[in-house]
Amino acid sequence: MKLSNQGWNISTLNENNVAIFRVKLKLMKIFKLRLINAITFSILTSLCSIASGQKSKINTDDILVKANIWETKEHGAGDFFPKLTIDNDISGKSSWRGERIDGIKPWIQYDLKSPIEISQICIAFYNGDQRNYYFDISISDDEKNWNSIFNGKSKGVSLDYENFDINKKARYIRVTGNGNTHEIYFNWTNITEVLLYKIGGSK
């Protein structure tokens, strides 16, 4: 391939050059897509922080995550670990999915290891722009006595985070799913990412 006055001269390409050119083009597209995803996630994180005033993100390394239903025969083992909700990846493939089975509601729980003044929980849902998710948010210090913070549904208009104020001290935060408005997959609760903030601090 040569650069002439009229631009790239495609006629000089042989089969090997065409193959290499296509591979390079594909790699450039992948790199571009990943760069866009990284920038989008950074912007969303900042917006979530700004929206709720002074707060400090809780380090995900300090959070233990577990869930009562996170794996099914339908999807196979290992696809939708609870920890995928705190991996800084808001894409649909990196999500936790819990199914309501025989009336048993799926839940996912975040353990901060010790009681912390929690400012807010921000939740992003899989296909959150196409369906409403029904769920409640509860907090606890001992995993036995729970205090309900929110009971309702997501707005169903965005893949981005929805913010829910807590402003209470707690060690455990639990999100319990009660299905969604999808015609077929209405028993599922699918969360792509969660951000937890404590009150005060700069970071």
62 contributes a contact to Ca ion by CB under 5 A = no
Please give the torsion angle defined by the CA atoms of residues 180, 183, 186 and 191, in that order, rounded to the nearest 10 degrees.
-60
The verdict on 37 binding Ca ion (CB under 5 A) reads: no
Distance of closest approach, residue 89 Cβ to Ca ion, in angstroms = 4
In terms of Cα–Cα distance, which of 166, 189, 170 is closest to 179?
Answer: 189
Q: Measured between alpha carbons, how far apart are the two ends of the chain, in Å?
A: 51
* CA distances in angstroms from 45 to 52, 57, 95, 160, 173, listed in the order given: 12, 10, 17, 9, 20
Contact between 195 and Ca ion by CB under 5 A: the answer reads no
**Which residue, 60 or 187, has its beta carbon nearer to Ca ion?**
60
Encoded one letter per residue, x for contact with Ca ion by CB under 5 A and - for no contact, window 82-121 reads: --x--x-x----x---------------------------
Residue with Cβ nearer Ca ion (84 or 195): 84
d(C-alpha 104, C-alpha 81), whole Å: 19
Rule CB under 5 A: say whether 127 interacts with Ca ion: no
* Interacting residue ranges for Ca ion, rule: CB under 5 A: 84, 87, 89, 94, 193
